[in-house]
Amino acid sequence: MTSDGSVLITGIGTLVTNSPELGDGPLGLLHDAAMVFRDGVVEWVGPAARVPDGAAHHRYDVDGRAVLPGFVDSHAHLVFGGERAEEFAARMTGEPYGAGGIRTTIAATRGSSDDQLDANMARLVREALAAGSTTIECKSGYGQDIDTEMRSLRVAGRHTGETTLLAAHVTPPEYTGRTDDYVEMVCERMIPDCAPHAKWIDVFCETGAFDRDQSEAVLRAGIDAGLTARVHGNQLGPGPGVQLAVELGAASVDHVTHTTADDVEALAASSTVATLLPTADFCTRSSRYPDARAMLDAGVTVALAADCNPGTSYTTSIPLCIALAVREMHMSPDEAVWAATAGGAAALQRNDIGRLTVGSRADAIALDAPSHIHLAYRPGVPLVREVWKNGALVP
């Protein structure tokens, strides 16, 4: 970057703008393109032959490779202590996944210092950034007491503006058999105390976690405290999560692995995004993946996210999500790339990220490949070669 904060990126073989007015199809594809970043935003984008004179003095040539918006990972749990490799190994030899494992991480998180939680999150954010995620949401949820939830949100807030109070993840041990009492404490004390540190309120609406009424109470208390709802729903089996999310105008309902035709119809008629987390289905050896095809064909807005957490999906890799979405969920490579960029932005109700058009954040990645299709075509290969965040090349 030059001292005036600008850089001209040249030699872009394929540019995904996610701005249909700029190029072909929903991805707004441009070939042989260039882009100018200045002061953290996109100042100009277009064909290489039409770069404005003196647009920027520092040139960065990507030599015919593909450039995309940075991935927007709209679902992650990055504040936690310990890990659960033994639980994963047991699952791979036949143990089913249940919400009980969350309690293992609650104990480890309560026993961790702020510095330990911060260092662990910093490591995961670095890992995610290297894999192309320039925005990452982060939930609390491994405290399930006021003090640890508050500490978790403060740690998360040092790394991202997209902070979520996952107030009802699982009933903590001291409330065993008293889930309604826990929900009451959450609504009356935890949410009012923690809301100033969060943007979103989330709940795990699932058999074995929180039922419809309990989930609704938590979400309404969060909304009353100024937060916007997001929901973990329909992960382990069919349930009321999708309908509740739609009824409350949630920004997103996440997992949605087990949906009915009514659920898909309700989503299609709403502004709630369906955020699919295929690495969670992969790592829990779920009996199925979400029916992305039915959702897309019905007109549902679909996002892809990695759900990084120590239980069900200990990965920060959006490229892996894209590969699974294409191979296992019958999304086209274009649909999967859109869902991991513009779809994630929609799930976070942001229009300044997830696309590359004049005025958007200069968050972009260059692949070691000639097109975005390679993200699915070359699974497991670390194709993200350069990452720009706020217009600066990440070292």
Q: Which member of 222, 240, 311, 391 binds ligand NIG (CB under 6 A)? A: 311
Query: Is residue 101 at the binding interface for ligand NIG, with CB under 6 A as the rule?
Result: yes
Q: Determine the Cα–Cα distance for residues 314 and 302; give it in Å rounded to an integer.
A: 22
Considering the complex, what minimum distance in angstroms separates the CB of residue 314 from ligand NIG? 9
SS (H, E, C) 345-364: HHHCCCCCCCCCCCCCECCE
Separation between Cα atoms, residue 380 and residue 241, nearest integer Å = 32
Report the residue number, 135 or 279, with the smaller CB distance to ligand NIG. Answer: 279
Report the candidate in 290, 311, 197, 184 with the shortest Cα–Cα distance to residue 241. 290
CB of 76 to Fe ion, least distance (A): 8
Measured at the alpha carbon of residue 206, what is the angle toward residues 205 and 207, in degrees to the nearest 5? 140
C-alpha to C-alpha distance for 184 and 163, rounded to whole angstroms: 22
Size of residue set near ligand NIG by CB under 6 A: 13
The neighbour count for residue 312, using CB atoms within 10 Å, is 27
Q: Of 141 and 319, which has the nearer Cβ to ligand NIG?
A: 141
Q: Is 102 in the site for ligand NIG (CB under 6 A)?
A: yes
User: How many CB atoms within 10 Å of residue 389?
Assistant: 18
Taking the complex as a whole, the smallest distance from the CB of residue 263 to Fe ion amounts, in Å, to: 18
Q: Identify the H or E element spanning 139.
A: strand 138-139
- Which region among 26-34, 220-228, 310-318, 368-376 touches ligand NIG (by CB under 6 A)? 310-318
Among 14, 279, 309, 317, binds ligand NIG (CB under 6 A): 309
Q: Does 307 bind ligand NIG (CB under 6 A)?
A: yes
Give yes or no for residue 307 binding Fe ion (CB under 5 A).
Answer: yes
The piece of 90-98, 114-122, 256-264, 305-313 that touches Fe ion (CB under 5 A) is 305-313
Q: Give the residue, chosen from 312, 315, 317, 341, that forms a contact with ligand NIG under the rule CB under 6 A.
A: 312
* C-alpha span between 140 and 156 (Å, rounded): 8
Footprint of Fe ion (CB under 5 A): 307
- The contact set with ligand NIG (CB under 6 A) reads 101-102, 105, 204, 232, 235, 280, 307, 309-313
